[in-house]
Amino acid sequence: MPDTHARRRAALRTSLRERDLDALLVVDLRNIRYLTGFTGSNAGLLVHADDEERTVFCTDGRYLTQSAQQVPDLERIIERPCPPALVARAAEQTYGRVGFESHRVTVDGLDVLREAGEVELVRASNLIERLRMVKDDVEVEALRMACAAADRALADLIEHGGLRAGRTEREVARELESRMLDHGAAGPSFESIVATGANSAVPHHRPTDAVLHTGDLVKLDFGALVDGYHSDMTRTFVLGQPADWQRELYDLVAAAQAAGRAALRPDAEVRDVDAAAREVVEQAGRGEEFLHGLGHGVGLEIHEAPTLGKMGEGRLSAGMAVTVEPGVYLSGRGGVRIEDTLVVRDGDPELLTLTSKQLVVV
């Protein structure tokens, strides 16, 4: 997709000119993938602010063939390490101000860059991450595929009796992740959460050998990785008929989640989206049991900007991909979380995780 990557670099060059930078040194591999399509484990990129033909990609000899296939439209240099080699190139061509990803470069790494060539190194954090907040059509399609792989894996798990009393959390997690691979995922988005009984009240519980029992709430938080893009979904089930308190808790979280989804609109303050869902929980007297923010951006990282939370900053824009995941957790008893991945649109948001949110009794 050379045209797609070229468009992204063009948008970045506009940001560089606005900051009076001659170039940007990119070292974060996810940002390099976003701008070039390269998927190897070692690379650097020097994006010129005015001239695409002066943009230079760097990797080492292990990726000679791969980089030729994935980055056919840029000049390549084969060197290691890449960042100082690219700074040296900038110095040779008498660049003045070269931005660098100060949120990724270590103090020691900055010393190495300064020794590589005579250029003015300027902090330029999160320039590419800001561009990545709004997804293009290629990215949204990858997210759709990732969400579909997760949806289908969960459907298979339930259809084949994989979620049942007597199994352990680890067994369920392993099967769920295997089924995502069967449906086209390169792997899970993150370590899958399977939490049964009282463990479901721990927001980020890690699967153990705890056994699922009839009467338990079982929380599954998982996602699939497709073409580098992450899906994220949480569903909570009941093994056997739910007790009144379980149904009430589920209905409360479902109402909060619906309110959060409804608040996803372009130009909405991220704090207001969080508040829309949180208010539902607070009015029910359980505000202190909603222990985290409402959601986060998803894309090349499982957690990326924007943050939907009390302390979040900024406004939503059409094309942003975010999660909406309220949860209420009763310590020692159980908890419920319901989470979807959605894309903000000019009208209603586009729902990418399509598994039913009705309370499912298995």
**For 87-115, what is each residue's pLDDT tens digit?**
999 999 989 999 999 999 999 999 999 99
- 33's CB contacts (< 8 A; 6+ apart) are 39, 228, 300
3-state secondary structure 319-339: CEEEEECCEEEECCCEEEECE
The answer to whether residues 206 and 242 touch, using CB atoms and an 8 Å cutoff, is no
Mean pLDDT over residues 317-337, rounded?
Answer: 98
**For 184-217, what is each residue's pLDDT tens digit?**
999 999 999 999 999 999 999 999 999 999 999 9
The string of DSSP codes covering 8-69 is HHHHHHHHHHHTT-SEEEE--HHHHHHHH---SS--EEEEESS-GGG-EEEE-GGGHHHHHH
pLDDT at 352: 98
H or E element, residue 77: strand 75-78
Tell whether the model's pLDDT for residue 168 goes beyond 80: yes
d(CA 217, CA 333): 9
Mean pLDDT over residues 28-38, rounded?
Answer: 98
In this prediction the pTM is 0.96
Mean pLDDT over residues 117-143, rounded?
Answer: 97
d(CA 25, CA 46): 5
SS3 297: strand
What's the mean pLDDT when you consider all of the chain?
97
pLDDT band at 334 (very low <50, low <70, confident <90, very high): very high
pLDDT at 240: 95
Percent pLDDT > 90 in the chain is 99
Where do the structural domains in the chain lie, given as residue ranges?
Answer: 2-131, 137-361
SS3 283: helix
Tell whether the model's pLDDT for residue 317 goes beyond 80: yes
Tokens at 171, concatenated: 């067994």
Tell whether the model's pLDDT for residue 271 goes beyond 90: yes
Tokens at 230, concatenated: 């992450």
**For 54-87, what is each residue's pLDDT tens digit?**
999 999 999 999 999 999 999 999 999 999 999 9
Tokens 């093994």 locate to: 239
How far does CA 198 lie from the centroid of its chain? 28
Tell whether the model's pLDDT for residue 1 goes beyond 90: no
Tell whether the model's pLDDT for residue 125 goes beyond 80: yes
Beta-bridge partner residues of 57: 45, 76
Mean pLDDT over residues 120-130, rounded?
Answer: 97
Tell whether the model's pLDDT for residue 359 goes beyond 90: yes
Kindly report the CATH number that applies to the domain delimited by 137-361: 3.90.230.10
Provide the CATH topology of domain 2-131. Answer: Creatine Amidinohydrolase; Chain A, domain 1 (3.40.350)
DSSP 8-class letter at 215: T
Mean pLDDT over residues 162-174, rounded?
Answer: 98
**126, HSE (Cβ side, Cα atoms, 13 Å):** 5
Mean pLDDT over residues 139-164, rounded?
Answer: 98
Pairwise pLDDT comparison (301 vs 360), residue with the higher score? 301
